[in-house]
Structures are given as C-alpha cells and as structure tokens.
Structure 1
C-alpha cells in the first residue's frame, strides 16, 4: 500500500494548473475538430450533414463523455480567468497575450449558441439540428453568420496556439510541423465552406412550405415565448461573464496597490544590476518588467529549467517550491536548495542571485529566437569517453607531443562515434561527450552507442600499436553510457555557441564513466540502454550502484572488454532480421 501511495505521489508531482488546463484544452480541441469535420460534410449534402451530426451527438452526449466535456469546458474557462488574474506581466511574445484574449472572448461569443441548442433542448425539448440552426443564421438572423464565423475562427486559432506551445519542444515537432500546418489550414477552410454550402441549401429549401412545416415546427424551434426566455438567459449569462472578467481586472488593480503598499524588494542579478519590484512578482516577471534579459524556453510555464537561478546566500527563508517546480528541478537533478526556477519563485524579501543560463542564447521572448535551436526535449543516448593516465603522459612528454597524442586519441574515438551514427559533441580536455539519437529512434541509438564503444576499443588498439615506440604504457580509456529525455540546444555566449545536451541522462553518463576507475572495467552501461536496445537480460552480469545526485541505486552492466559489445548487438539485429 505504501509503494502504491508513493507511485501515485510521483505520478501527480508534475501536475500543476498548466497541466490541468492543457488536458482540458485537449478535450475541447477534440470536440472542435469533430464539429469542424461535421461542418465540412456540408460540402457534400444536407443528408451528409444530418448523418454526421447524428454520430457527433451520439458520442458527445454519451453521459460519461458529456460529463468530461462540460467539466473540461468549465475548468478550462475558469483557469483562463485565473490566468488573467495571476499573470503580472504581459511582455512575452505577442502570441501569448493573443491566446489569452482569444480564449477569454470565446465564452462571450458562444453563449447564445449554447443556450439556444443545449438549454433549448433541456428546458423545452427543442430538436435544433443543422436545418434549424442554418435557417436562423442565413434567413432569420443573418447577423449571426458573422458571429458564428468569428467564433469558429477564434476558437480554432486559440486551440492551435495552445497546441503549438505544447508540442514545439517535442522531438517529432520539426518533422510533423508541415503536416500540422496543413491540417490547421485545411480543416477550418473545409468547415467554413461546408457551413456556407449548407446555408445556401437551407435558403433555397426554405421557400418550400412543406419544408417549413417539417423543420420550423414548434417542436423543432419552440415558440416566441420560449425564445424570449432563452434570450433572457443568454443576456444574463453574458452580463454575468462580463462582470466576472471586470471583477478580475479590478482585483488585479487592487492587488497591485496592495503589493506596493506592502513594500518593495530588491532583486540583485549578481552582475551589478539591481531592480526594485513589488512583492508578489516572480523573478522572471520582474526581469521582463524591467527589460532584464532572462532565458526561458517555455515562456514561464515551468515546462523547462532554462530560467534557473542560483540564490546567493541563505536560501532557507525562501518560499517552498511548488510541486510543479520541485518536479522540474528533480527531473534535471537540481537537488541544491539554492537552485530555483525564476518563473515560479516569488520572493518576499531582498534577493541576490545569478542566472545559470545565458539569456542572450535561449530567451523565449527574444526576437529572432528559433525553437529548434534554443531548446528541444527528446530521447538521446549520452556517451562519455575519458582517456586514462593523461596526467602521467604529460609528465613524460613534451607539451606538443602530449597535445598530439590526446588529439589522436580523440580522433580515434570520434571516428568510431561518427561511423556508428553518433555525433561527437563536446571535447573537455582528454574527454569526449558523444550523442546518439539526433537522427535515429531510441532503440537504434542505443545499439549505435554500444557498437561505437566496441569500435573505440579497436581504434585505440590500432593507435597503441602506432604509438608503441613513444608510449611507456598503452592508452586506456573509460566509457559511460546512459539514455533518457534531455534538452538539446545552443549553449554559450554571443559568438561562442555550442550545440549540446542538458539533463539527468547526460550527468549519469558522466558519473558512470568515472565509476569505471573504481570497478576496473572499460565501460559501464545503464540497464536503460540494454532494455531499449532489446538485448537479452542475461548477456552480461548486472549490479546496483549508487549514483551521486540520485536518491535510488541504479542497475548497470560493467564491461571489462568493450569489443564484446559488437557481437552482442549484431546477434540481436540478425535475430530481428
């Protein structure tokens, strides 16, 4: 029971207001797509519209689905209003305030349609379907044509912006973007054309008295008195919604006055820059308000860690991290309590800190930023390779000879990495970080890394033979390999930019490489790599090791001779073929 509770706690740790709003938005967007596809059937015939709406209503009015849908609509609207109140700074990219404004306008524009169709059916048993609604739009109240067209476009744009913010950091987004854009243009276009063609058909049929008797009866559209009741309900709901939005705007003003009366605090950026801000602003909001460059790939949504700061001095008096902030920090291995997310930390007293990421590189609100380069989340395999004994080598060689030998070592390693499909990424002294999976799926990336480890050993053997007359002892190496979700992007300052990966998987690979010294082996590979590569569990002995920065031990495989890895991978690939 305790383990079950612990698993539930881990599952819900990363769920915050934004995640709930996203889930509700996905439900509403699914309804919107269904509705648009139904509209598009108007390009075929009224009979096709009638058939489509039958299945549309059958699904969305199924009690469990209806409860989910209306619940998502209420929660999403409520959280949108809460976002209006909560956000203290709107100097993000223009798309973000546009999304908020469009979202808040949708309930106001669609209230009359909801009341006319759903409440009309619930209160008076009206049966308003496409003939009745299209007649109201195209014959009885023609001004509603533009109202409905506007709300369809606004709802679609709002949903597409939300999907873009959610998907833009996913690994597949760059490949899928052209297809998503085509769908984003094609679906509403066909829907509006179907709406137009259906309207034309109803206008033509409405001159037929028999059609009017069948489609405009009291059972279908109700009486004048009933319509007056529905109009009154619509007006009251509209006034109530506008009053709620007005109340939130008033509350924002009151809060701003109270925060200023409560006192101002100083935020020192560690580079001589200090700003005075009211209590209650997050550090990232303060940076935006006073035009201080601050990195934030996700735009302050707590979906990345690029706005991280390190607090200078005592951090014990700071507000405790929210569950969402704790989840993000734990995911990137930031266990130091002085490291916080700037978008979540709202200090109540003077604060000094410095930013951990250069804002000139990866700021979401920086003009000209490119999401595919400033930050992308994906599964990669990280391999750290380190040359053993380079210090003793430097003591016994001339400086230029040492550089020559180290470069030959790094060249041998890089050649193996490239030939196996990886990318040499960072050279740190006599060590190398290589990445696999930038252009391959996770299983292929894991197999490429294992093959590269075997080829590195072969290349180093050849190097040792070539340098046998110049070395007192052969060159040895240590390799650590681990895979997982990381953030890739350009890191550096101004003209000194490096494309690299950041995340727990990279740190673990470095720790495993260090561990090869104590375990006296050539390589240590995490169990994650073996499972993802599809290798049999009994091919190599496993053991549990403690990883610095991790609360739980990790299962790894130690390999005394990395040459054996090539045969293991080849056997698996041959069996699969």
Structure 2
C-alpha cells in the first residue's frame, strides 16, 4: 500500500510564511497611489456637490446631505481619514527621500502642490469637522458661504478658489502619472482632459452662484436667525478653542516639513562622511558618488544618459543593469524590485538589478541592458525633392519577427525598448551604407537608396546595408542574449526601379516618401522571407544593376502578388553572407 510522505515542520513553516506573489508588487508608491485615489474620489464628490449650486440652493443643500451620508459612514470615514494621514505622511517622506527633482517637471510640481494643500485648507477642515465632532455645530453651505462671501475679507474666497484648483491639479497630475502607461490611456485622454477642465469649472461656478445667493439673502434678519445661531457657528469660546487647535496644527505641520528638510541636510553630511563609491558605467566612464544614491540617481546627477521610461518608480525594467563582478556583495533587492525582476523572468539571476532601486555600498562595475538610443538619422536630400519627381531608387523593407509574441511576455516599456534597439541597429547600418531610413511602421522600416547616387552605387549600397544589418542584429542578439527567450529574427526585401518621390500627407503632417511598383515589390519580398525561411530576398534585376555575377547568389522564380508575371529573385538564407558575395565580386573585378 502506497504511503504519502509527510512534510516536515520546516517546510510547513516555509509554506505558511511565503507571501502571495501579488504582495511583492505593493510598495510605498502603490500605497500612496491608493490613498491618493481615495482622496481624489472625495474631491470629485465635493466638486460635483459644488456644481449643484448652479441649479439652486435647495439642490446644493440636498447634495451635501448625500455627500455627508456617504463620507461620514464609519467604515468610509476610517478609510478616508486613514488615507489623508498616510498620503500626507508619504508626501513628507517623498520630500525627504528624493535627492533630485530635475528628472521630470511634473514631479516637483506635484509634490509642492500636495504639501501646500494642508497649509491652505487646515482652518476650513478644523472648523467644519472638529466643530461638528466636539461641539455638534451644524455648519453647512449657508454658514460656509456666508463666512467667505460676507463675513470675511474677499481674499478668503479667492484663497478657497486657489486651494480647490491646487488640490484638483495635484490629483490630476497623480492620475496622469499613473495612467499614462496604460494601453487605453491615449484613447481615453481627450475625454479625461475634458472632464479635468469641465468639473472644476462647474464647481467654481456653483461655489460663486451659491455665494451670491447667500450674500443676497443674508441681509434678512430672519435668515440670520435661522443660519447664524450659536448652534450653527458655536460660541466665542468654542471658536477660540478651534482657532488654537488650528494654530497648533500649523506649527506641527510646518515643523514636519522643516524636519524633513533638516533630515535631508543631515543625510547629505552623513553620506559624504560615510564614504564614496566608484561606479564604472559600461566599462568606459567612472564616477564617484556618496553611498546611499541609487545607480540611476548617480548617473542622472552626472548627466550620463541612462534608459528609464517610468522615471525611477520601479514600474518598468528599462533601467536594469547587468552587474559585472560578484553580485553577492550587493544589497538584496527590495520586494518591489524583486517583483519587477520576477515579472520579466530574471528574478533568478542575481547579476540583473534595477538601477533605480540598487544602492551600492561598494565599488560597482555594470553594463546597462538598454542603453539609450543616441542615433540621429540623416535626412539628406529629402526636403529638396520636388513633388511628383520621378527617380530611380532602391527600396528596402526590413521587418522584425515575433514582436507580438515578445510583447505578450514582457512589460510594455521593455518591448518598446527592444524594438527601438532593433530599429536603431537597422538605421545605423542603412545610414553607414549611404541609405536613408524613410518610414517606421511598428517594428518595420522602409529605407531608400539612390537619392544622391547612381543606380549602380545605390544597388550595391543596398546589398552592403543588408549585410551590415545581419551583422548588427547578430551583435544585438549577443548583447541581449540573457534577456531574450530566443534571438531576434528579421526579414529584408530589396527591389529597385522608377518611383515617384515627394512629400505626401496633410498640412503639418507631410512626410517625404517614395511611391511606385518597386516599393510594393520590396514590401512583398520582405513578406515572402517568412514562408521561404530566409533573411533576405532581393530581385535579380537589382543584382544585375549592382554588377554582381549571376553565379554569386541562388535564384528562384516566384509569383509576386499584384504582378501578372513571375519574378526572378535571389534567395539569401543569412543576410551576413552577402559580405562574401561583395568581397568575391571585388576580387573578380
């Protein structure tokens, strides 16, 4: 009879102590984001309530009763005030933690706006909430609007307008930073922008209309008796108590901001005295920085380009590096860093780390996995071409294989960077051989040769570019070998002939390109490399124009979609083999 092995106690403890995978993706930023969403929901509810003032005072009053019913419900109130406390605390922590604010303009703006809101709204909140909790004061819209539009100087109303706009802008920036990497954001952006403008506009108009109504009705003694009684505004002693609480909060909050700034200064002194570390970037450039900086902060501080699509938030892996040396000397990855690395399949490789999270304590030599692209494609002779001019050009279509499959198993930013690296390698090869990258469509590219060359030179340069592309992609595969499930594959189609060149498009969206049968044929030859299992197909007509011998390349007669007669094409299994063809031709010459 078969027996089942019993797990030992250590295994049971390990299983009980293991956290669910999704918990690894939760960090301080995710907590701050959740709290921010709660606060933005409250703000949206409040703004919609203000907007009811455009209808009538009765609608404004009915709306605030519903608003209070929801947000003073005990579980919701606990969530709301907990979110206020945590969000404000994490904002102060961000002020302390962030060493630089020049990466993105929105980040310091968002932080300053967020920290300024409590300074501008504390007295309103204390009078409204604590007055109700401590003294059961019944302050609603009539009392608040009377205070801003009648009893107080006019600047108080403008201060409330300012804080409404500041709080709304702060929330919208947070939503933008969160949603901008979502696939549907671009489609939803016009609607979100319309809502971001329309909602505060209606709220401010409702606030103004309600204030005008109260200012008009406040002249009536009966209205004052009904709305300005001690049950609504409290006694002078109660108001003094609330004012003292407000002053205490102001001192306490300003003290926390000062404490964060002092802590930043103390940290900088400690880091300088604690020693420096040397970071060697890409084996070429070395920098010395204080301990405590992340690798990304160090490279940004010294103006060294480093790929980082999410701004150092550990929401992508484009800043990741390969550590050269013993990774055991590095600090262990944080839960958020481990989660991101595990999501891209490199969690088991200790030499792969996120530059935005790694804070080395010893000298470090590393290699960026995704160096930023620094290539500016040449744009010669394009703008000078007349509309409708006929030219003999060589058209080359290059397409990356399997990018869709790659995107299914990778973070979006990683896929974009890999495709950009591929297109960068192809573009450099084309430019080096005298061609011009003309159009980029997804993961494919159209290149043109012959804008400033003879037909023979253009054809030879195109063949030379195909060989260079093969070598460049081989080098790219070696470089990214640890990060790709399989090597990058590609297809190239090349054909030459008469085309019409010029600018096409609409108004400010004109692009220089070529139109004609040879361009279509090159595109279809590139498609046929998939079924033939080769990297390059070039027309025999191009081979002959280039002056290559007939025996240099194997030929095949193919039916080309859109052409009535079959075409003779040269089949090249590996694009790099064209180097030998060109060298052999030079020897024979």
- TM-score normalised over the length of structure 2: 0.65
Partner SS for 1:489:
helix
Give the whole-Å Cα distance in 2 for the aligned partners of 1:77 and 1:37. 24
Superposition deviation, residue 285 in structure 1 = 0.7
> CA deviation digits over 1:236-294, x for unaligned, max 9?
10111001100110010011000000111111102421111100000111111111111
Counterpart position of 1:55: 66
Superposition deviation, residue 11 in structure 1 = 2.0
For 2:91, which of 73, 80, 97 is the aligned residue?
A: 80
Counterpart position of 1:23: 34
Verify the 8 A CA contact 2:46 2:67 in the aligned structure 1.
yes
C-alpha distance 352-150 of structure 1, shift in aligned 2 (>3 A): same
Verify the 8 A CA contact 1:40 1:193 in the aligned structure 2.
yes
- Residues 62-461 of structure 1 aligned to structure 2 (within 5 Å): 62-142=73-153, 143-334=155-346, 335-360=348-373, 426=400, 432-435=401-404
> CA deviation digits over 1:182-220, x for unaligned, max 9?
011111111011101110011001001100000101001
Superposition deviation, residue 94 in structure 1 = 1.0
Superposition deviation, residue 228 in structure 1 = 1.2
Superposition deviation, residue 486 in structure 1 = 4.0
Superposition deviation, residue 483 in structure 1 = 6.5
- Residues 508-519 of structure 1 aligned to structure 2 (within 5 Å): none
Partner SS for 1:268:
strand
* Larger RCO: 1 or 2 (CA < 8 Å, sep 6+): 1
> CA deviation digits over 1:318-339, x for unaligned, max 9?
0000000000011011131111
Tell me how many residue pairs correspond in the alignment: 405
Superposition deviation, residue 489 in structure 1 = 2.2
Give the whole-Å Cα distance in 1 for the aligned partners of 2:211 and 2:78. 31
Task: Determine whether 1:489 maps to 2:501.
Answer: no
Give the whole-Å Cα distance in 1 for the aligned partners of 2:14 and 2:328. 30
Give the whole-Å Cα distance in 2 for the aligned partners of 1:219 and 1:111. 22
Task: Determine whether 1:34 maps to 2:45.
Answer: yes
C-alpha distance 500-277 of structure 1, shift in aligned 2 (>3 A): farther
> CA deviation digits over 1:49-106, x for unaligned, max 9?
0011010000000000000000011000000101111111112111111001111111
Moved over 3 A (4+): 1-8, 480-488, 493-503, 506-511
Give the whole-Å Cα distance in 2 for the aligned partners of 1:39 and 1:361. 50
Give the whole-Å Cα distance in 2 for the aligned partners of 1:208 and 1:120. 25
Superposition deviation, residue 510 in structure 1 = 7.9
Verify the 8 A CA contact 1:481 1:509 in the aligned structure 2.
no
> CA deviation digits over 1:332-387, x for unaligned, max 9?
1113111100110000111111111122479xxxxxxxxxxxxxxxxxxxxxxxxx
Give the whole-Å Cα distance in 1 for the aligned partners of 2:211 and 2:17. 57
- Residues 470-549 of structure 1 aligned to structure 2 (within 5 Å): 486-487=412-413, 488-489=415-416, 491-492=420-421, 493=424, 496=428
Counterpart position of 1:368: none
Verify the 8 A CA contact 1:91 1:289 in the aligned structure 2.
no
Give the whole-Å Cα distance in 1 for the aligned partners of 2:16 and 2:443. 37
C-alpha distance 243-313 of structure 1, shift in aligned 2 (>3 A): same
Give the whole-Å Cα distance in 1 for the aligned partners of 2:156 and 2:295. 45
C-alpha distance 102-202 of structure 1, shift in aligned 2 (>3 A): same
Give the whole-Å Cα distance in 2 for the aligned partners of 1:243 and 1:486. 42
C-alpha distance 425-199 of structure 1, shift in aligned 2 (>3 A): farther
Give the whole-Å Cα distance in 1 for the aligned partners of 2:410 and 2:79. 33
Q: Which runs of 5+ in 1 are unaligned?
A: 363-410, 412-423, 427-431, 437-479, 512-521, 523-577
Verify the 8 A CA contact 2:403 2:443 in the aligned structure 1.
no
Give the whole-Å Cα distance in 1 for the aligned partners of 2:399 and 2:173. 33
Counterpart position of 1:562: none
Superposition deviation, residue 127 in structure 1 = 0.7
Q: Which runs of 5+ in 2 are unaligned?
A: 1-11, 376-396, 429-436, 445-476, 489-530, 532-589
C-alpha distance 257-312 of structure 1, shift in aligned 2 (>3 A): same
Partner SS for 2:416:
strand
Give the whole-Å Cα distance in 2 for the aligned partners of 1:264 and 1:3. 38
The structure having more radius of gyration, on CA atoms, is 2
Partner SS for 2:356:
coil
> CA deviation digits over 1:154-195, x for unaligned, max 9?
111111111011000000001001110101111111101110
Partner SS for 1:68:
helix
- TM-score normalised over the length of structure 1: 0.66
C-alpha distance 485-315 of structure 1, shift in aligned 2 (>3 A): closer
C-alpha distance 152-425 of structure 1, shift in aligned 2 (>3 A): farther
> CA deviation digits over 1:386-437, x for unaligned, max 9?
xxxxxxxxxxxxxxxxxxxxxxxxx9xxxxxxxxxxxx951xxxxx31528x
Give the whole-Å Cα distance in 1 for the aligned partners of 2:224 and 2:80. 33
Verify the 8 A CA contact 1:310 1:340 in the aligned structure 2.
yes
